[in-house]
Amino acid sequence: MAEADFLFSETSQYLKPEDIIQLRNAYSFGLGAHSGQFRKSGEPYISHPVAVARILSKLRLDAPTLTAALLHDVVEDTDISKAEISERFGEPVAELVDGVSKLAKIEFQTQEEAQAENFRKMLLAMARDVRVILIKLADRLHNMQTLSVMIPAKQRSIARETLEIYAPIAHRLGLNNIYQELQELGFRYSYPLRHKVLVKATRAARGNRREVVGKILEVITSKLKEAHLDAEVTGREKHLYSIYNKMLEKHLSFSEVLDIYGFRVIVKDIPSCYVALGMLHSLYKPIPGKFKDYIAIPKNNDYQSLHSTLLGPFGIPIEIQIRTAEMHRIAENGVASHWLYKNLDGNFDELHLKTSQWLHSLMETLSSSTDSSEFLEHLKIDLFPSDVFVFTPQGKILTLPRGSTAVDFAYAVHSDVGNCCVAAKINGENAPLRIKLKSGDRIEIVTAPYAKPNPSWLGYVATARARSHIRHFLKTIQYEESIKLGERLLNQAFISFNINPDSITVAQWNKLARDSGVKSKQELFTEMALGKQLPAVVARRLTAPSESIFKEQTATPITILGTEGSAVQFAKCCRPIPDDAIVGIIKKDSGLIIHVLNCNNISHNPKNQENYLNVAWGKDITRTFEAAIEIITDNKQGVLARVAAEIAKADSNIDDIAMESENERMHMRFVLQVNNRLHLSQVIRGLRHLREITTIRRIED
């Protein structure tokens, strides 16, 4: 196979002869294991692992990594076991293959849960050996390069996962080339039409840009020669995804983004970086607030460079990056750039140490996430670039995401500091915990031994670490208190219905827990305490689960006030309001849904009425409710304004409006905020006075 020959030829330039023999053996082993398997494109399956190994060989990775790349799918897709790989190629290779393999043989309830568990396993393996993620990223890159054979829905799903997870991981590890290609391919398949339009526009603009870039290059090179600097200056083409994001974030047109020109200056040493910066600042005026010194304070992925935006000729913004050749190597290849992996003393080099610390910190944050969606949320938060550099009282630099608060800082120092923080001092002055930090701030956290995390912190913390620790504390420390509160609420409901709690059997409890989607009676109590279940509903379901609301009832109905929170929802199909005849329907994972009694979405089949409950409006309801009305009017100028004014005069707010015209008629549909049926009647009565209105009715389905 030609691709395999290219691989052996490329790797022979830096690997030992015995390593090449191992790669050839791994190729032969993989070829046999994948015999008869083909990719969607029709190519033999072995072409994929060979392509993955070639991507990694360009990073000059070691023989075990390339061997594992050639074998990375054999455990998942064939009958070969991890033990067989260990026996033939050694334990390190087997561990790498196992770390990359998906959890294909475990049953998951949802795709999201499967995805979360795959990432969790991958991150655990990464924490032991960062080479796992390098193989995984190369695997994803080749899959993205060959994504055209998939159906569009699959293309979009894989591309968005790539943009949300894999590209940020590549960026965090400093693998710039892989990061940018993943972004470009992710953009192409996530938004194919937008990508096509931008490709066409950039090609059309490229001729003019090349001329402008050439002139600016000449001027910059000439200026640096004046300072006797030996510099390599290049113009940088903006990537499509970068152009698209800048257009979105800053609400710019395509031409405005293309008017920003990028240049990179590479010099021999750090002093030369600052000399070059001074020369360029004397050539073109720097734009205030657009200078960043990542040499003095490197990014988390060890990226170093000077960034400055200058006002070039004819007012054109020019983005400049200045760095040394070593910095450029790290900027392009990150954690793979200086592959010492472990030196003779068994110590990690500085970049691998930083990467290892980040991975262990990430795993600590994610280990307390029990919910799949929560896990993925924390993972995505933690992967995006950090831009705020702050100082501890001892002068240590911490890097936090933009928008981080004093609470985020406290948890970054230590989880115990975060859990016990009560106040903060920023630059020597007292400041609220929710204040957003700025680069250069010096922060001191004040703690108290009996302080506890406040649930309101979740509303403003920016880091996954802080969010995870707060949630973990609230779940574990307050769990017993929630059980006690839920039990008290249920006992009150039993008293109101004259029910003896001792009459409830274990079988009744177990059935209700199953029907409610919880694991135990204690979890039911917790859900009642958190407002996810209504105690009155739980009491009624325990004692009369099959009672039909269409039969004559003597039992006290459950009172609805509209203040029950997430435990009670009002159906959007019929939008019940106080004084409507209503019925409650228990829906798994949604709580109690209130419908108007004659709603067409309610089944009157007795077999389907097991989860129907007798409910009634309470007295002294103070909140407003949604009601929908349809109005047909003459299509005249100003009619909408008069209708809106009449609604406001009746002390009602408009939540939503939809209109369509038909010849000389205008159909309007409003969603209004009203107190009850009487209030809605007053609104409708006021509207009837308008001569333009021919029809008005309430929409109840």
29-79 residue pLDDT tens: 989 988 888 888 889 999 999 999 999 998 888 899 999 999 988 988 888
Based on the domain organization, do 300 and 174 belong to the same domain? Answer: no
- State the chain's mean pLDDT as an integer: 80
Domain boundaries, position 646: 625-699
Band the pLDDT of 396: cuts 50, 70, 90: confident
Coil, helix or strand for 228?
A: coil
- Tokens read off for 97: 């293959």
- Same-domain pairing of 34 and 78: yes
Q: What is the pLDDT of residue 576?
A: 93
- Which pLDDT value is given to residue 107? 41
- Average pLDDT, integer, range 619-638: 87
3-state DSSP of 576-615:
CCCCCCEEEEEECCCEEEEEECCCCCCCCCHHHCCCEECE
What pLDDT band is residue 598 in, cutting at 50, 70 and 90?
confident
Residues 632 and 504 placed together within one structural domain of the fold = no
> What percent of the chain is predicted at pLDDT more than 70?
80
Residue 687 identity:
L
Classify residue 307: in a domain, yes or no.
Answer: yes
Domain boundary among 190, 207, 225: 190
Question: Is 359 within the bounds of a domain?
Answer: no
Check residue 120 and give its pLDDT: 61
**Are 566 and 497 in the same domain?**
yes
One domain, residues 127 and 162? yes
How many separate domains does the chain show?
5
Residue type, 308: S
Q: Do 443 and 453 reside in the same domain of the chain?
A: yes
Whether residue 145 contacts residue 155, with contact meaning beta carbons closer than 8 Å, is answered with no
Residues 216 and 173 in one domain: no
466 shares a domain with 453: yes
The alpha carbon dihedral of 372, 378, 382, 385 has a sign of positive
- In a domain, residue 370? The reply is no
**Do 94 and 156 fall within a single domain?**
yes
Q: Which two tokens stand for residue 652?
A: 């009602």
For residues 170 and 137, the answer to whether their CB atoms sit within 8 Å is yes
Residues 6 or more apart in contact with residue 253 via CB below 8 angstroms:
247
Residue 372 lies in a domain: no
pLDDT of residue 14: 86
Pick the range with the lowest mean pLDDT from 146-150, 206-210, 524-528: 206-210
CATH number of the domain where residue 409 is located: 3.10.20.30
Rounded Cα gap, residues 179 and 140, in angstroms: 11
The pLDDT assigned to 108 comes to 40
**Mean pLDDT across the stretch 228-238?**
84
Summarised one tens digit per residue, pLDDT across range 262-312 is 899 999 999 999 999 999 998 888 888 788 888 888 876 678 899 998 888
Do 81 and 199 lie in a common domain?
no
* Residue 36: CATH number of its domain: 1.10.3210.10
Most confident among 327-331, 509-513, 559-563, 676-680 (mean pLDDT): 676-680
Tokens 């290779």, located at residue: 93
Edge-to-edge strand list for the sheet holding 582-587 = 568-570, 591-596, 582-587, 612-613
Catalytic residues: 76-77
Residue 593 lies in a domain: yes
Query: Which CATH number goes with the domain that contains 639?
Result: 3.30.70.260
Rounded percentage of the chain residues whose pLDDT exceeds 90: 21
Q: Examine residue 362 and state whether it is found in any structural domain, yes or no.
A: no
Q: Spell out the long-range contacts of 386-389 with Cβ–Cβ below 8 A and sequence spacing 24 or more.
A: 386/299, 386/300, 387/439, 388/437, 388/438, 388/439, 389/297, 389/439, 389/440
351 — pLDDT class (breaks 50, 70, 90): low
Asked, for residue 381, whether it belongs to a domain, the answer is no
- The whole-number pLDDT of residue 61 equals 86
The answer to whether residue 346 sits within a structural domain is: no
Residues 236 and 226 in one domain: yes
**Amino acid 610: pLDDT:** 54
Q: Does residue 118 have a pLDDT over 70?
A: no
pLDDT tens digit sequence for 140-181: 999 999 999 999 989 998 998 888 778 888 877 778 889 889
pLDDT higher at 253 or 114: 253
> Which of 329-338, 367-376, 629-638 is least confident?
367-376
pLDDT at 226 over 60: yes
Strands in 132-240 per DSSP E = 232-236
Q: What is the predicted pLDDT for the residue at 323?
A: 94
What local confidence, expressed as pLDDT, does residue 211 receive? Answer: 77
116 and 251 housed in the same domain: no
Query: Residue 631 has what pLDDT?
Result: 93
